[in-house]
């Protein structure tokens, strides 16, 4: 950080000695606009290395220069109504303040707990809105590198009906294998190589496919083609987000209405009839 400060002061000295701002010398200039060290306050996050800090500052200065060049050209070529511009700036400022205020209220008060029944009810009503865009399959699977020395024994365990889920999970954990044994979960077939996608569609039960790198072992429980309604478990996360977002929208609507009614009761505003 000391190196960064030194670089900034050196840059400021080289840039100009005649345009000071509260005792600071500028870092960069575009026509009659100047960038000062104070403008960079808060730019560097605590713990950032000197090298990364310097890169952040350089990028900021570069972006500032590019923006000022563009602004100067715009000012030169576009006639702007100052009153209209000031109104837009004020409107934008108000929008930012309102947005930040509502975001803070949402963080504090929004109910983000969604029960299974609420998701079931929502899915029942809106089932036709959740149409599959790709094929999905419900299955258990293991993805095994072809060079795995005990591939044969893992396959034997996987197809043995007496092997329980905990045993297979333990084997996969020890061998660091990608796998899933949740029979209720649906997976997009895009996850698997093309030749296996075809096999999954045509077969119910054990499927084994191999490409140049991996062997895929799977037990297919159910297959659904795109165009069908998505299984609820496949879109649970999406349903959760929709429900919470609906609550958020309703909450903000109520907040605005309550504030209006409160201001009305207090006499904080009036509509003045100039007639």
Mean pLDDT confidence for 123-144 = 95
**Nearest Cα to 106, choosing from 262, 256, 237?**
256
Mean pLDDT confidence for 75-82 = 86
pTM here is 0.70
pLDDT digits (tens, 9 = 90+) for 228-258: 999 999 999 999 999 999 999 999 999 999 9
pLDDT digits (tens, 9 = 90+) for 151-188: 999 999 999 999 999 999 999 999 999 999 999 999 99
How many other CB atoms are there within 10 angstroms of residue 145's CB atom? 14
Look at residue 12 in the predicted model and tell me its pLDDT.
44
Compare 44 and 248 and report the one with higher pLDDT.
248
- The percent of residues above 70 in pLDDT, for the chain, comes to 91
Look at residue 165 in the predicted model and tell me its pLDDT.
92
**CA-to-CA separations, 223 to 126, 133, 194, 195, 202, in angstroms, rounded:** 22, 14, 15, 16, 9
The lowest-confidence range among 43-52, 103-112, 137-146 is 43-52
Task: For residue 159, give the H/E element and its range.
Answer: helix 151-159
**Nearest Cα to 111, choosing from 254, 237, 245, 259?**
245
What rounded mean pLDDT belongs to the chain? Answer: 89
Task: For residue 166, give the H/E element and its range.
Answer: helix 165-175
**Cβ–Cβ < 8 Å for 181, 140:** yes
Interatomic CA distance for residues 238 and 219, integer angstroms: 27
Look at residue 274 in the predicted model and tell me its pLDDT.
66
Look at residue 71 in the predicted model and tell me its pLDDT.
92
């Amino acid at each position: 950080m000391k190196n960064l400060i030194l670089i900034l002061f050196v840059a400021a000295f080289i840039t100009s000695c005649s345009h000071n701002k509260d005792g600071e010398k500028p870092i960069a200039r575009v026509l009659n606009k100047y960038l000062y060290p104070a403008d960079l306050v808060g730019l560097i996050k605590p713990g950032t290395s000197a090298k990364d800090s310097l890169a952040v500052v350089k990028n900021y200065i570069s972006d500032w220069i590019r923006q000022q060049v563009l602004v100067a050209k715009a000012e030169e070529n576009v006639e702007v109504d100052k009153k209209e511009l000031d109104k837009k700036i004020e409107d934008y400022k108000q929008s930012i303040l309102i947005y930040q205020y509502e975001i803070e209220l949402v963080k504090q008060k929004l109910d983000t707990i969604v029960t299974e029944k609420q998701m079931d009810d929502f899915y029942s009503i809106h089932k036709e809105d959740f149409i599959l865009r790709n094929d999905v399959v419900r299955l258990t699977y293991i993805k095994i590198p072809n060079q795995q020395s005990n591939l044969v024994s893992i396959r034997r365990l996987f197809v043995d009906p007496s092997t329980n889920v905990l045993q297979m999970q333990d084997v996969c954990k020890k061998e660091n294998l990608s796998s899933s044994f949740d029979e209720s979960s649906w997976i997009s077939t895009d996850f698997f190589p093309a030749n296996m996608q075809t096999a999954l569609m045509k077969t119910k039960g054990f499927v084994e496919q191999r490409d140049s790198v991996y062997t895929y072992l799977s037990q297919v429980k159910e297959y659904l083609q795109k165009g069908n309604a998505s299984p609820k478990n496949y879109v649970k996360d999406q349903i959760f987000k929709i429900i919470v977002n609906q609550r958020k929208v309703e909450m903000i609507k109520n907040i605005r209405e309550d504030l209006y009614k409160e201001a009305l009761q207090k006499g904080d505003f009036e509509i003045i009839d100039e007639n």
